[in-house]
Amino acid sequence: MTGLLSVRNLTKSFGGLVAVSQVSFDLHSGETLGIIGPNGAGKSTLFSLLTGFLTADTGEVTFDGRSIRGLRPDQVCHLGLVRTFQIIQNFAVLSTLENVMVGAFLRERKAKHARERAWNILERVGLAERAQVPAGDLTMLDQTRLEIAKVLATDPKIVLADETMAGLTPVEMHHAIDLLLSLREDGITFILIEHVMHVIMSLSDRILVLHHGEKISEGTPTEVANDKGVIDAYLGEEEIYAGG
């Protein structure tokens, strides 16, 4: 059975380095898939491949019944597959509201309607009070909220969130997890990349583990946590860290 998103044998190399190798998985509507793996495992590259920022060498990506391989990022976004970035990419001189309006314009031509839509989303993510503040002046947590708000404004079917929690304090992280959980309850389908284990374990229905660009494990959080290959991959990395 195939779901909303189906990835088959996706491969991408940069020169001699195979960043993503023969990765396949399926994602069903309403599900949250976590992607973990040591640094350089190919997680962000996988996101770029799915959202059109990079084109795969081989393999196939089917979204909502049609192939999206080779489409540009804006075309992929139109279809309902949107990403956030690992390093927050807000439009710093624009206000928080205007940032979200940029996303909202995808579905609303008129500025008035885009503004209304943006307001609703700002209220949803708890940013309404900061609506008129330039995005560059927001706290880290609010920038993270804004990153999610912009993406939500495009009315996505799947949100690919790349290390949303990066740079947050534990307390802020707690707020961000609550936000993602509540969005998940609203039925938004997520693919998450996350380094913080307890975050990804508590948010994901299913987890996919990448190592050196290959999928080494896939399953429920408990299954993955007990997978010997996964433990080896992570412990192996720690040894390298200790040695270096």
Partner 1 sequence: MKSEAFWEYPVQLLVLAVFLLLPLWGLSSYVLNTLIMMLFFGFLATAWNILGGFAGQHSLGNAAFVGIGAYTSTFLFSQYGISPWIGMWIGGVLAGIFGLFLGYSAFRCGLKGPFFLLVTIAAAQIVMLVVLNCRALGGASGLTVPYVGSHPALFQFESKIAYYYVAVGLLAAGILVSILVSRHRLGYYLVAIRENEDAACALGIDTLHYKLLATFLSGFLSGLGGTFYAQYILFIDPESILSLGLSIEIIVYPILGGIGTVLGPALGAFILYPVGELARSVWGGSAAGIHLLFYGAFLMLCIIFMPKGVVGLVRRIQEILKGKLRAREVEALAKE
Residue 73 vs 219, nearer CB to partner 1: 73
Over the window 131 to 170, marking each residue x when it contacts partner 1 by CB under 8 A and - when it does not, the resulting string is: -------------------xx-xx----------------
Q: How far apart are CA 56 and CA 71, in angstroms?
A: 11
101, containing H or E segment: helix 96-104
**Single residue of 26, 64, 98, 227 touching partner 1 by CB under 8 A:** 98
- Quick one: tokens of 107? 């579905």
Which helix or strand (DSSP H or E) is residue 102 part of? Answer: helix 96-104
Contact positions with partner 1 (CB under 8 A) in 51-80:
51, 53, 72-75, 77-78
3-state secondary structure of 230: helix
Place of tokens 């010997």: 228
CB-CB contact of 80 with 155 (8 Å): yes
Return the number of the residue (117 or 206) whose C-beta is nearest partner 1: 117
The single residue listed with the structure tokens 């408990």 is 222
CA atoms within 13 A on the CB side of 81: 28
Q: How far is the CB of 65 from partner 1 (least distance, A)?
A: 20
Considering the complex, what minimum distance in angstroms separates the CB of residue 89 from partner 1? Answer: 4
Of 3, 24, 57, 91, the one binding partner 1 by CB under 8 A: 91
Give the binding site for partner 1 (CB under 8 A).
51, 53, 72-75, 77-78, 82-85, 89-95, 98, 101-103, 105-106, 109-111, 114, 150-151, 153-154
